[in-house]
Amino acid sequence: GRDSVNFFRDQRMRRALAYAIDRRGLVETMLKDRAIPADGPILPNSWAYASSTACPTFDPNNPSQAQDNLALVQITPPPPDPNAATPSSGRYTFELLVPNDAGLARVADAMVSAWSRLNMDVALVVVDSVTFRERLSAGSFDAALVELNLAPAADPDPYSLWRQLPRDGGLNFGAMNDRSISELLETARRATDGATRIQLYRSFQQVFC
């Protein structure tokens, strides 16, 4: 909800950002044996994963996807003002917050480079882990690279990540506010029938993407 990055509210901007990042390539080269690429909100090794759902993903055979979506964004950055105390560039400008971790910092640097090729000014901000968590909880960031360890959890319940409010230990730091998603997740975590849960999580993934 930060006004300085109100362009994130445009779905085409979020798609452009996603299309520009080769997640699979970054994970394989920089986080090998530490992470797996997440092309959606539920990991592909889960029983709840919907393989037919297509979230915006980098496609080397369609390199113009990111730029095409960016061209349609209706919230534009302010034009350059050479008389301002801090002249704007006329480009989309934001910060990417990342914890002081060598692997994640390399990934973040590659992301900044990819977004820069879309005519964006992205500043990489590296902070210690305590400051990182404090800023996430306070919503004091534009964009952030967050690593989540889901290894101990056999159940794919993503309620804590994407429910409407990040209170009570929730992890929805970006404050995504979508009632239909919250209702799907709330219903799924209460359901006792496996087939019902699978269908609810399939619907959740479709809406999310």
pLDDT value, residue 149: 72
pLDDT recorded at residue 198: 93
Q: Residue 38's pLDDT is what?
A: 79
Count Cα neighbours of 182 within 13 Å in the Cβ-side half-sphere. 11
Do residues 122 and 95 make contact, with C-beta atoms less than 8 angstroms apart?
yes
Q: Which two tokens stand for residue 177?
A: 């506010």
The pLDDT of residue 100 is 96
pLDDT at position 151: 63
CB 96 within 8 A of CB 123: yes
Q: Please answer whether residues 175 and 139 qualify as being in contact, where contact means their C-beta atoms are separated by less than 8 angstroms.
A: yes
Q: What is the pLDDT of residue 54?
A: 84
The pLDDT score that the predictor gives to residue 180 is 93
pLDDT computed for residue 21 by the predictor? 96
pLDDT (0 to 100) of residue 44? 85
| pTM (2 d.p.) | 0.86
In Å, what is the CA distance from 23 to each residue of 26, 29, 30? Answer: 5, 10, 10
pLDDT of residue 156: 76
pLDDT reported for residue 150: 65
The residue ranges of the chain whose pLDDT is under 70 are 1, 78, 80-88, 150-154, 165-169
23-62 pLDDT, tens digit each: 999 999 998 888 888 788 888 888 999 988 889 999 999 9
Q: CA 15 to CA 26: how far, in whole Å? A: 18
